[in-house]
């Protein structure tokens, strides 16, 4: 069985989209894969409760603020993740920049979703940056994680129009619906290759 560990920091809507798709499409039977754990770096993250409601048994918190360095947190996080023998580690709104050592440990098995059409607008505030740049289109990208922020190999993209009068919030609301479609599909396609 290919175990999937999902990392979150907040509400977990992309995590939920993946878990629901895995259940609906019976990934355990069709792909030999299952979501075995959801881990958050923020105590009280709403996504942990949502994961439990969706039947994910292992939900954990590892508070990054309890560690003296990014390296110490990433080492502890990797230890927690490895207890689940993951074939794939999925970042779903996990708002931490990971150390090169962590990324190397999961090379080829670590994926992320980013709310822009990479390579455009890596980093934060992507929707406002797209509007400010006068873009006619924006979107989302699923990519493998490398040591360079938001620059790994692209696994899939979805495009949304930037409409007249759009704000960062309205564009984000339209974009997230595409995230919930694209991310589970990209994860499933990657699982077929593992």
Identify the sign of the CA torsion 118, 121, 124, 129: negative
Q: Which residues are catalytic?
A: 114
Structure tokens at 136: 């006619």
Return the CA Rg of the chain: 16
Quick count: other Cβ atoms within 10 Å of Cβ 43? Answer: 11
Both tokens of 124, joined, read: 């934060």
Spell out where 9-102 has E strands: 33-40, 58-61, 86-91
- Which are the contacts of 192, defined by CB distance < 8 A and separation ≥ 6? 31
């Amino acid at each position: 069985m290919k175990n999937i560990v999902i990392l979150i920091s907040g509400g977990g809507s992309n995590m939920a989209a993946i878990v629901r798709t895995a259940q609906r499409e019976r990934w355990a039977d069709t792909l030999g894969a299952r979501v075995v754990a959801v881990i958050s770096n923020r105590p009280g993250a709403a996504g942990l409760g949502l994961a439990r409601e969706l039947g994910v048994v292992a939900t954990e918190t590892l508070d990054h603020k309890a560690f003296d360095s990014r390296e110490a947190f990433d080492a502890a996080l990797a230890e927690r993740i490895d207890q689940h023998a993951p074939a794939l580690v999925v970042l779903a709104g996990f708002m931490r920049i990971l150390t090169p050592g962590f990324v190397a440990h999961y090379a080829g098995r670590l994926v992320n979703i980013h709310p822009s059409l990479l390579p455009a607008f890596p980093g934060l505030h992507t929707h406002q940056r797209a509007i400010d740049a006068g873009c006619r289109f924006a979107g989302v990208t699923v990519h493998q994680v490398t040591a360079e922020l938001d620059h790994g190999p692209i696994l899939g993209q979805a495009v949304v129009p930037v409409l007249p009068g759009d704000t960062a919030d309205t564009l984000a609301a339209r974009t997230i619906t595409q995230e919930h479609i694209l991310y589970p599909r990209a994860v499933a396609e990657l699982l077929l290759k593992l």
